[in-house]
């Protein structure tokens, strides 16, 4: 009987997990499952060894040993000590321990690593009478613990140290490009296909040669781990040495000699010291005879003379980021010069430019066909993929008719500074919390009355700005309104790096009577975004709203947490995002009710996008008030109900006008009649200055959770919505009816 498959996790730089999954599939990995910074998979030891030897984008490969629950450090230590560590470490082997993740009791990674080490040492001392020595640099065995709440996974780090360390880099220059990030850039740019076709490669700003060397490794089919001397499994007791030697021999046999590589690879840099380092690195990587490296300026870069016109190539480069303020203008100049050189000499070529600043990418003056976000260490970068030609040119500074000059006004600079400050603050928060769509600005300065939301779309990955202008009061002079609007629009691209073609502007007026979800166009341009590990379709141009209310992000998460095994009802369901969350949270079933067929079809697509398009999740087209009124004594009961009515609605298909301030008591009473015993109603309203009717506090247990459902990006506008949890039964005290949850 064959052995059960082992469980692994391969990590990668953020933004490259899909490339890693594709690689792992080619190594025989079973059931690869993408995560934000890696891929989980199962299989035999051979697939993991191949990943260590061949993966161009992986950071590390972990072999899972055990997983358990540990509420505190004592339980963690005891669980570690119960494992059979003598089966992992040879007598006399050295050990290193790492700890990552978030645990409620183990709040410092160094402390977690220490408790992990203590558990292993205690177990080995009890089993063998000896303890291992500690070597934090290159141990025989490196053990890693990762906590997700109280759930802890213990794994052997088969890589031992990050796989981006190929073994060829000498002394690195300032802010070096990591080798696996460079390889990811090349794979994104499809250099593997271009190289096989004999294309030309050029990095005109090559520095120490990382992109050139990784391009040569790909062209020669040389395994990136072939020159490494150290792996974490070499001193591990479970190491299969014959298997490893067979895989290395196979890798050596696949290497193409220079005479069989039809691609031409070149790098140039004006710094002669950098070129010397690049040549040394290329020699250590065993591709010195493949890469031509020369001292030369960017302004003189050009394709090789005599090359056939039908054999174009790839310009791939990582210009300076201008991290320090004094370097920023120089970095802008380099980007502008690079754009000029590409336009004038490389028509018909592909270009892949990795920039650490979206605003710098605009200096190229070239329109990117695709934009990818990826991280080089802690630096969030943009990879711009460009097909160089006349139709790729973008006029620099073209921000809209008649407004470009407004960029330099005091007001525009003040607004841009505020926007950039918000972006710096929220970008880190968003990355830590896996939030990809968030409010960037909400009338922070009253004279610039806009709401600006940033959406990061998937496939292609790109940032969009959805800009809503609050209509100015009639007493404000029209000229002043237009000037302020122009200052905002002229500042957006420079402040955020989002190009004008991905900025959508709407004017939002107060409409005391009218449908909430008014359609504005017929283009049906949809994009997909991620939230909470789920996917949703959004539309930036055809409707007054995008299809995903960002201020309800935390409310949706609470619904998911409460939904397991429950029957869920979503009233005024809109595009069904709450139903998707409930389904993901394990709801037994759901019913989504909305009057609009358009939005129900949208909801159906959202459910399908997340794998929940099945009869358990029903969609009903009806006026919610009429549907509730028709529910008699024998109607289905629900354990969890979400009621989020529009502030006003007078749809032609509705009877009368819905006014939430007036009608919410009747809506809530009707919902409570459908609520199962011990069920929960979550009621939300975006009406300005909304007040819950006092009579409801006398009939039900009501808890105000508005503060608990206010996301960080909406903290400046606590009135964005009011939200309440309502349960059956009289309030427990005279003050509990409207008790607040400010957690």
List pLDDT tens digits, range 450-498: 999 999 999 888 999 999 888 777 667 767 777 888 889 888 988 998 9
Q: Hey, what are 476's tokens?
A: 């404000």
DSSP characters over 594-618: ES-HHHHHHHHHHHHHTT--STTEE
Q: Which of 380, 312, 307 is nearest to 351 (CA)?
A: 312
Going by pLDDT thresholds of 50, 70 and 90, the confidence category of residue 91 is very high
- What is each CA distance from 31 to 4, 22, 34, 51, in whole angstroms? 14, 11, 10, 15
- What is each CA distance from 152 to 74, 77, 105, 116, 721, in whole angstroms? 13, 11, 12, 11, 37
Is a pLDDT exceeding 70 seen at residue 323?
no
Going by pLDDT thresholds of 50, 70 and 90, the confidence category of residue 735 is very low
DSSP helix, strand, coil percent of the chain (3-state; round to 5) = 35, 25, 40
Q: Which of 382, 378, 376 is nearest to 352 (CA)?
A: 382
Percent of the chain with pLDDT over 90: 70
Q: Is the dihedral of CA 271, 275, 278, 284 positive or negative?
A: negative
The predicted model gives 134-152 an average pLDDT of 96
Q: Is the dihedral of CA 251, 254, 259, 261 positive or negative?
A: negative
The predicted structure's pLDDT at residue 736: 40
Q: Is the dihedral of CA 476, 479, 480, 486 positive or negative?
A: positive
682-729, pLDDT tens digit by residue? Answer: 999 998 789 999 999 999 999 999 999 999 999 988 889 999 999 998
Contact 222, 271 (CB under 8 A): no
The predicted structure's pLDDT at residue 399: 41
> Token match 């059931």: residue?
31
Is a pLDDT exceeding 90 seen at residue 99?
yes
The predicted structure's pLDDT at residue 407: 76
Least confident of 56-65, 275-284, 505-514, 592-601: 505-514
CA atoms lying within 13 Å on the CB side of residue 726: 29
Please tell me the total number of residues recorded for the chain in this structure.
743
Going by pLDDT thresholds of 50, 70 and 90, the confidence category of residue 656 is low
Three-class secondary structure of residue 140 per DSSP? coil
Report the distance separating Cα 539 and Cα 528, nearest Å: 9
Q: Which domains does the chain have, with CATH numbers?
A: 6-157 (3.30.2130.30), 179-221+259-392 (3.40.50.150), 404-508 (3.30.750.80), 527-740 (3.40.50.150)
Q: Which pTM does this prediction carry?
A: 0.60
The predicted structure's pLDDT at residue 202: 97
Strand-pairing partners, residue 681, are 641, 726
395-442, pLDDT tens digit by residue? Answer: 443 344 456 667 778 888 999 999 999 999 998 899 888 899 999 999
Report the distance separating Cα 179 and Cα 185, nearest Å: 10
Average model confidence (pLDDT) across the chain: 88
The predicted model gives 300-305 an average pLDDT of 90
């Amino acid at each position: 009987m064959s052995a059960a498959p082992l469980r692994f996790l391969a990590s990668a730089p953020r933004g490259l997990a899909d490339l890693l999954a594709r690689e792992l599939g080619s190594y025989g990995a079973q059931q690869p499952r993408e995560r934000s910074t890696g891929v989980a998979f199962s299989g035999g030891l051979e697939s993991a060894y191949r990943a260590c030897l061949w993966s161009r984008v992986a950071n590390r490969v972990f072999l899972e040993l055990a997983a358990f629950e540990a509420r505190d450090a004592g339980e963690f230590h005891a669980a570690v000590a119960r494992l059979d560590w003598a089966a992992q470490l040879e007598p006399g082997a050295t050990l290193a321990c790492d700890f990552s993740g978030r645990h409620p009791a183990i709040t410092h990674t160094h402390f977690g690593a220490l408790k992990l080490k203590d558990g292993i040492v205690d177990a080995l001392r009890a089993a063998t009478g000896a303890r291992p020595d500690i070597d934090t640099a290159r141990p025989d065995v490196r053990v890693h613990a990762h906590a997700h709440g109280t759930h802890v996974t213990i794994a052997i780090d088969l890589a031992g140290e990050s796989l981006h360390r190929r073994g060829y880099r000498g002394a690195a220059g300032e802010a070096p490009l990591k080798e696996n990030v460079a390889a990811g850039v090349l794979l994104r740019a499809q250099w593997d296909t271009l190289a096989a076709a004999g294309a030309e490669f050029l990095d005109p700003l090559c520095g120490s040669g990382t992109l050139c060397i990784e391009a040569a490794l790909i062209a020669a089919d040389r395994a990136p781990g072939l020159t490494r001397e150290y792996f974490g499994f070499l001193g591990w007791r479970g190491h299969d040495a014959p298997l490893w030697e067979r895989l290395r021999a196979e890798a050596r046999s696949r290497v193409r000699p220079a005479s069989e590589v039809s691609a031409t690879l070149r790098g140039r840099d004006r710094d002669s010291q950098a070129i010397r380092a690049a040549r040394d690195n290329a020699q250590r990587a065993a591709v010195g005879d493949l890469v031509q490296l020369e001292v030369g300026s960017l302004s003189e870069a050009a394709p090789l003379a005599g090359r056939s016109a039908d054999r174009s190539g790839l310009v791939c480069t990582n210009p300076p980021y201008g991290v320090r303020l004094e370097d920023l203008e120089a970095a802008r100049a380099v980007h502008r010069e690079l754009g000029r050189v590409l336009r004038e000499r490389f028509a018909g070529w592909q270009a892949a430019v990795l920039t650490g600043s979206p605003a710098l990418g605009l200096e190229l003056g070239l329109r990117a066909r695709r934009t990818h976000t990826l991280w080089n260490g802690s630096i969030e970068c943009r990879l711009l993929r460009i097909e160089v030609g006349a139709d790729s040119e973008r006029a620099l500074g073209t921000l809209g008719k008649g407004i470009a000059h407004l960029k330099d006004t005091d007001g525009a600079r003040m607004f841009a500074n505020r926007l950039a400050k918000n972006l710096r603050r929220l970008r880190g928060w968003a990355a830590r919390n896996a939030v990809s769509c968030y409010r960037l600005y909400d009338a922070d300065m009253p004279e610039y009355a806009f709401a600006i939301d940033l959406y990061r779309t998937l496939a292609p990955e790109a940032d969009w700005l959805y800009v809503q202008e609050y209509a100015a009061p009639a007493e404000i002079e029209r000229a002043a309104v237009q000037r302020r609007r122009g200052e905002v629009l002229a500042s957006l691209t420079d402040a955020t790096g989002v190009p004008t073609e991905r900025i959508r502007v709407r004017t939002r007026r107060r409409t005391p009577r009218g449908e909430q979800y008014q359609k504005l166009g017929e283009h049906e341009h949809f994009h997909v975004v991620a939230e909470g590990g789920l996917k949703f379709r959004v539309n930036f141009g055809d409707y007054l709203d995008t299809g995903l209310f960002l201020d309800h992000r935390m409310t949706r998460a609470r619904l998911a947490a409460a939904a397991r095994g429950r029957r869920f009802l979503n009233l005024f369901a809109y595009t069904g995002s709450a139903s998707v969350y409930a389904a993901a949270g394990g709801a037994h079933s759901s019913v989504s009710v909305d009057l609009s067929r358009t939005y129900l079809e949208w909801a159906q697509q959202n459910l399908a996008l997340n794998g929940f398009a099945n009869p358990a999740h029903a969609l009903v087209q009806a006026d919610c008030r009429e549907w509730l009124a028709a529910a008699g004594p024998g109607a289905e009961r629900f354990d969890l109900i979400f009621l989020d009515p529009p502030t006003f609605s007078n749809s032609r298909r509705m009877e009368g006008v819905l006014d939430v301030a007036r009608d919410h008591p009747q809506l809530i009473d009707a919902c409570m009649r459908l609520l199962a015993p011990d069920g929960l109603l979550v009621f939300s309203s975006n009406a300005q200055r909304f007040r819950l009717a006092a009579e409801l506090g006398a009939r039900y247990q009501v808890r105000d959770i508005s503060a608990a459902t206010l996301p960080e990006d909406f903290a400046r506008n606590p009135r964005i919505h009011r939200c309440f949890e309502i349960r059956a039964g009289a309030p427990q005290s005279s003050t509990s009816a409207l008790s607040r949850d400010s957690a």
